[in-house]
Structure 1
Amino acid sequence: MQAKHLKLILASTSPRRRELLGRFGLPFEVLAVEVEERPRSGEAAEDYVRRVASAKSAQGQTLAPADVAVLAADTEVVLDGHIFGKPQGREHAREMLGRLSGRTHEVLSAVSLRRGGLHWEALSVSRVRFRDIRPQEIDAYWASGEPTDKAGAYAIQGRGELFVTELQGSFSGVMGLPLRETAGLLRHLGLETERLLAGAPP
């Protein structure tokens, strides 16, 4: 498949991933997929995010035409080996943010790309440090509505950045789609970095 005839599907309805992929100037369509997002017993966080991203792209491929490339991702917040996932409610968010307060955690973002029988993967690992967060700040943040569907109960691209004192790694990876790693995968489809930097033509 030549890049100029590339058909690409993003197997995610996340507005953050849609916005990040859109920065490349590529035409793409969005496809909703549903996979179980639950770590297996003893499963390492890195293995988990890779597995979920792979499952999303695989499901997307079953729903898409055969000539279409499918991109998917999974992002998780990890502290002391524990995968946080998304908050189930206010108290769960308070617990998450309370544990992250004043500490450094990891954000793992796996990307999976499929075309035909081919499959490519990449992983971004970032380290984020939070300042001490007061309980009333957590309550106010929850009331804003921002944390409800976010891994670790915060959005670094939104009000959640107020908690961050240090970031080592990829800002876009913490958002949900690491651009450097994604660009590397898109090279397999004939899209060189300079074309992405210029805004790939339709």
Structure 2
Amino acid sequence: MPDLAYMLPRLILASQSVARRALLQELGIEVTTCPTHSDESFELSHPAEVVAMLARRKLEAYRKEHPAYTLPVLCCDTLIFFEDRLIGKSEDRTQAKSQLLDFSGKAQQVYSGWALWYGNKIFCDADKALVWFKQLDEQDVETYLDTREWEGAAGSYRIQGLGKQLIDHIEGDRGTVIGLPVEQIQRILGEKA
């Protein structure tokens, strides 16, 4: 199966996520970022449906805002499902601390949805990975919060930075945890494109 950079040598990432951009660039893809703004409210309850719907909504917003484009356009959304609730970005340090202490010694499901306009078709799906946290004490969490890396991150951590020190192990695609299910996108494009 051809790799993603072969199928998508250049694309527009309709996101301001530095992590997603960096991951695509690591794969050898030339990335132009152009964030889009769309309604992020939802009534669905299944996490995979929510992130796929939000990613598709972002793609629709991008296509409406930019009617003339030729490069593939990729939109993503990531949420965490933990103890029967969906968790996005924390509002402040206090909420981030509470989230990270709750995660201590436990597993959470990370869902990343994506929508891609490619070859005049829209592809959309979601992937799940399991993230197991180490046992953390309050000082571990405070030290991490001091880095400010948690700001703007679903679940208040980033595995591609110092947040990896909080993690025991991951089951699934690391890209899904970062917010971009590379393995799934590559497989689906390889099968259908």
TM-score calculated relative to the size of structure 1: 0.83
1:108 maps to 2:114: no
1:94 maps to 2:97: yes
The C-alpha deviation readout for 1:48-72, integer Å capped at 9, x for no partner, is 1111111111112223324332111
Report if aligned partners of 1:45, 1:81 keep a CA contact under 8 Å in 2. Answer: no
Among the aligned pairs, what percent are the same residue?
26
Larger Rg: 1
The C-alpha deviation readout for 1:26-51, integer Å capped at 9, x for no partner, is 333211111232332x5221111111
1:160 maps to 2:156: no
Query: Where does the alignment leave 5 or more consecutive residues of structure 2 unmatched?
Result: 1-5
Where 2:80 maps in the other structure, the secondary structure is strand
Match of 1:63 among 49, 62, 65: 65
Taking the aligned partners of 2:131 and 2:88, their CA distance within structure 1 comes to: 16
Where 2:170 maps in the other structure, the secondary structure is strand
Match of 2:50 among 48, 51, 60: 48
Where 2:135 maps in the other structure, the secondary structure is coil
Taking the aligned partners of 1:135 and 1:27, their CA distance within structure 2 comes to: 41
Match of 1:131 among 124, 128, 134: 134
Query: Where does the alignment leave 5 or more consecutive residues of structure 1 unmatched?
Result: 191-202
Partner of 1:197: none
Partner of 1:33: 36
The C-alpha deviation readout for 1:138-188, integer Å capped at 9, x for no partner, is 112111111011100011111111121121001111011121122235448
Taking the aligned partners of 1:56 and 1:109, their CA distance within structure 2 comes to: 13
Taking the aligned partners of 1:60 and 1:97, their CA distance within structure 2 comes to: 33
Alignment of 1:135-146 (within 5 A): 135-146=138-149
The two structures, once aligned, show a CA RMSD in angstroms of 2.4
Partner of 1:148: 151
Taking the aligned partners of 2:179 and 2:35, their CA distance within structure 1 comes to: 16
Taking the aligned partners of 1:36 and 1:4, their CA distance within structure 2 comes to: 30
Taking the aligned partners of 2:133 and 2:8, their CA distance within structure 1 comes to: 44
Number of matched pairs? 187
Letter in 2 for 1:168: E
Taking the aligned partners of 2:146 and 2:166, their CA distance within structure 1 comes to: 16
Match of 2:78 among 67, 75, 78: 75
Taking the aligned partners of 1:127 and 1:4, their CA distance within structure 2 comes to: 28
Letter in 2 for 1:98: L
Letter in 2 for 1:51: M
Where 1:146 maps in the other structure, the secondary structure is coil
Alignment of 1:184-195 (within 5 A): 184-187=187-190
Partner of 1:200: none
